[in-house]
Amino acid sequence: MTKREAQTILNKRKMYLHTPVGELELVADTNGLCRISFGKTAKASDICEEEIPVLRKAIEQLSEYFAGQRKVFELPLSLRGTDFQLRDWNALLEIPYGETRSYKDIAEAVGCPRGFRAVGMANRRNPLPIVVPCHRVIGADGSLTGYAGANKALAIKEYLLKLEGAR
């Protein structure tokens, strides 16, 4: 492990939240919420479990979301990715609660009209599922496709869309 990797781990904190879609592991760095994982992740084993304001706020807002009381998250986010991934994730943030978009719609929104497969790959690498709503992206024919969140990924995607009244 390099000195930089060790410093990055030292600056991160994690907490857990039990939800209707399973346990979520929330990780924040000094800039904001940086990762949500379904279940505990081996990568986060070196990250200190500690209640800090951004994680407390994330847990509160996610709990409100699952209770049907929150439609918009107001959290500092610490997104890191390629330029294309960041454009994709920002486009996902523009999809309103209760609505869906196709992969093609997102590809067009990020200026890459034929890049629907690239959109799928960027969505797959989304470090903040639910908050950055990749679950709102569906196939052009309305089918549920590609949700890499967990073992029961499509069931989770369907649950989230039903919670939002989108299906």
Tens place of pLDDT per residue across the chain (167 aa): 554 454 455 689 999 999 999 999 999 999 999 999 998 775 656 788 888 999 999 999 999 999 999 999 999 999 999 999 999 999 999 999 999 999 999 999 999 999 989 999 999 999 999 999 999 999 888 888 766 555 578 889 999 999 999 86
Contact 104, 134 (CB under 8 A): no
Among 34, 48, 112, 134, which one carries the catalytic annotation? 134
pTM of the predicted protein model: 0.88
User: Each residue of 8-41: b (16+ CB within 10 Å) or e?
Assistant: ebeebbbbebebebeebbbbbbeeebbbbbbeee
Instruction: Look at residue 9 in the predicted model and tell me its pLDDT.
Output: 55
What gap in Å lies between CA 49 and CA 22, rounded to an integer? 18
What is the per-residue pLDDT for 80?
96
Residue 22 is inside which H or E element, if any? strand 22-29
Residue 112 bears catalytic tag: no
Nearest alpha-carbon partner for 97 in 75, 69, 126 = 69
Helical segments of 94-152, H only: 103-109, 116-124
